[in-house]
Each structure stands twice: as structure tokens, then as C-alpha cells.
């Protein structure tokens, strides 16, 4: 297996196409392993990994923890809500205290964009960004690309629509970088208030009609409305958002082709996706969750070789 060109996974922007292909190919091998009766391999037996989460998480945290345990690493879980952070301890002091206990790798989620980058320049351990504010979520983009490739093959020339709250989504930016590096065409679709003005500079199409986006794309990656990050009202009501930008099964059935439906979770059923759409034959949402473990195993394994 080839090595990565980076010591840390801070964002897709820092990876080249070869890095992405290496991670996806390694993940294919790990997916085969996690579907065996005995799912563990001793690849990271002497490595200690700390999951340092300053924000709430279900899928990402469980997925990383499972990936680490499947690789036989020793795992330490840290949650800011019950820690000395509440007493005023800084991010750097918190992490240095964890590293003093001989931890080799940090998986971090933080509400401030750039927090993993700040940390990686000040500590000797490898850092994996598990989401930094509204900036990037690299492992989500990698597992999305892995899931798409598994379903529709090589992504060169494929059309991917990212639909929903683009402004507040870290998944959107990482997906755009990843998909473009793999040769796909990318479109973002949503209310104009939820699409950043600069996004056109990244070479993506911009649309505001969900039906047009669905007709154009091979894959629709639907994002939730991130109300917890919104300081002002970006649209009148969830009901109105659902009416104009929600996707239901009837809309999918009306298309003259089959498309793939994705969602990074958690789903707000009845807002961006109806239950019949989320559970339809078009949906690979649960495949994304399964693939997340294999992709994160690949990332941890490859970084540990650096």
C-alpha cells in the first residue's frame, strides 16, 4: 500500500488525488475484513488513540471508536461536557494533558473552524479532523465518495447534487473538494440564503430548484437544516422549506432515471427528506454508515504508518 503525503487528516483540501485513491482502496480491504465472522485485526495493537469531542456526535464518534477497536488500538474517550474545559482549561492544555499519558493519535471534533490545524502545528501526535465548525468533515466526504463509487462505479464525469443547508455544512465543502479531485461534476442546490456567495468560485453549479437538480444528477446528497448553527432566520419556516426543498418518493418516481439518494445524518424526517424517500430503494444511507467504519479504519491505519 502506498503512503499518504500528509501526517494529519485535517481536510480534503490538503489531500491530493493519490491520497484519496489510497484511502478508498485501503477501505475496500477493510470492508471485507469487517464483514468476516472475526472482525478484528492487530494492525494498531501498540497505538493509543484519544477521541476528543468538544461537540455532540453519535455516528461519527461511534464509527471512529468502532474503527479503532477493529484495528486493536487502545481507545480513550474524552467529552468536553464533563471535563476541565468547563473550568476554563484551554484546548492546548487539555490535549497536552491527554498526550502526557502517552497517546499517539488524536481524533478531534470542535465547533471552531481551524481548531485541528492549530493543534496539529503544536503537538507531536497525528491529528484527525472529525469536523471543525462549518469548515470541513474529511472522513464524511471520503465515506460518501466510497459509497458512491461502490454504487455507480468510477466518479469521473458523474453528476453529484448537494442539496440543503450549504452555508452551515462542513460536509458540503469537504464533498465538493473530494468529488472534484475524483473528476465528478458538482452542483449545490438550496435557498439562496443558504448558499454562500463565494461558492461559484469553486467551480460548482448553483441551483435553486430541487426538481431540476434531481433530474440533472446521478447522486443526490441531501443535507439537513442546521438550526443549531443559525443565528438568524434564513427562511420563513420548516414547513415552507419542506414544501419547496424537501424530497419525497413521488419526486423520485417521477424521474426518467434511477438516482442514488444519500444523507450524512441525522435525518430530519419530514423536512429535507420524507420517510418514504429515506427508506426507498434509491437510498444508500445505511450503507454510508457501514462504509464509515471501513473508511475510518483506512485513515487511522494509513496515518499510523507515517
Residue 170, marked binder: yes
Decide: 114 and 66 in contact? Cβ < 8 Å: no
Decide: 135 and 170 in contact? Cβ < 8 Å: yes
Residue 266, marked binder: yes
Q: In Å, what is the CA distance from 125 to each residue of 29, 70, 81, 164, 305? A: 26, 21, 23, 36, 12
Q: In Å, what is the CA distance from 258 to each residue of 151, 188, 222? A: 12, 19, 16
Residue 59, marked binder: yes
Q: Is omega for the bond preceding 266 within 30 degrees of 0, making it cis?
A: yes
Which of 4-9's residues contact partners 24+ apart within 8 Å by CB, and which partners? 4/302, 4/303, 4/305, 4/306, 6/306, 7/120, 7/126, 7/303, 7/306, 8/116, 8/120, 8/126, 8/127, 8/128, 8/129, 8/303, 9/127, 9/128, 9/129, 9/138, 9/139, 9/299, 9/303
Residue 7, marked binder: no
Residue 140, marked binder: yes
Q: Given the C-alpha cell 427528506, which residue does it identify?
A: 273
Residue 116, marked binder: no
Q: What is the DSSP code (8-state) at residue 90?
A: -
Residue 137, marked binder: yes
Contacting residues for 34 by C-beta, under 8 A, at least 6 apart: 70, 293, 294, 297
In a 3-state reduction of DSSP, which class is residue 257?
coil
How far is 223 from 232, CA to CA, in rounded Å?
19
Residue 40, marked binder: no
Decide: 252 and 202 in contact? Cβ < 8 Å: no
Report the binding-site residues for L-aspartate: 87, 170, 224
Report the binding-site residues: 59-60, 87, 109, 137, 140, 170, 224, 265-266
Report the binding-site residues for carbamoyl phosphate: 59-60, 109, 137, 140, 265-266
Amino acid at each position: 500500500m502506498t503512503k499518504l503525503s500528509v501526517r494529519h487528516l485535517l481536510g480534503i483540501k490538503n489531500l491530493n488525488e493519490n491520497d484519496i485513491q489510497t484511502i478508498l482502496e485501503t477501505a475496500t480491504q477493510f470492508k471485507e475484513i469487517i464483514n468476516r465472522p472475526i472482525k478484528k485485526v492487530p494492525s494498531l495493537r501498540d497505538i493509543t488513540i484519544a477521541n476528543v469531542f468538544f461537540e455532540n456526535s453519535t455516528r461519527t464518534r461511534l464509527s471512529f471508536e468502532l474503527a479503532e477497536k477493529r484495528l486493536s488500538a487502545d481507545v480513550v474517550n474524552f467529552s468536553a461536557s464533563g471535563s476541565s474545559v468547563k473550568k476554563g482549561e484551554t484546548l492546548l492544555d487539555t490535549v497536552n494533558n491527554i498526550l502526557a499519558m502517552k497517546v499517539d493519535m488524536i481524533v478531534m471534533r470542535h465547533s471552531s473552524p481551524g481548531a485541528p490545524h492549530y493543534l496539529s502545528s503544536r503537538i507531536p501526535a497525528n491529528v484527525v479532523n472529525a469536523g471543525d465548525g462549518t469548515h470541513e468533515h474529511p472522513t464524511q466526504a471520503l465515506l460518501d465518495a466510497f459509497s458512491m463509487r461502490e454504487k455507480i462505479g468510477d466518479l469521473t464525469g458523474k453528476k453529484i447534487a448537494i442539496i440543503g443547508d450549504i452555508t452551515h455544512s462542513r460536509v458540503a465543502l469537504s464533498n465538493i473538494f473530494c468529488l472534484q479531485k475524483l473528476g465528478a461534476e458538482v452542483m449545490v442546490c438550496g435557498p439562496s440564503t443558504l448558499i454562500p456567495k463565494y461558492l461559484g468560485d469553486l467551480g460548482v453549479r448553483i441551483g435553486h430548484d430541487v426538481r431540476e437538480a434531481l433530474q440533472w444528477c446521478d447522486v443526490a446528497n441531501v443535507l439537513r437544516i442546521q438550526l443549531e448553527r443559525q443565528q438568524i432566520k434564513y427562511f420563513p419556516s420548516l414547513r415552507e422549506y419542506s414544501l419547496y426543498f424537501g424530497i419525497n418518493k413521488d419526486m423520485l418516481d417521477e424521474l426518467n432515471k434511477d438516482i442514488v439518494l444519500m444523507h450524512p445524518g441525522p435525518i430530519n424526517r419530514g423536512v429535507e427528506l420524507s420517510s418514504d424517500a429515506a427508506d426507498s430503494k434509491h437510498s444508500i444511507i445505511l450503507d454510508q454508515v457501514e462504509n464509515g467504519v471501513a473508511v475510518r479504519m483506512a485513515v487511522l491505519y494509513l496515518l499510523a504508518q507515517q
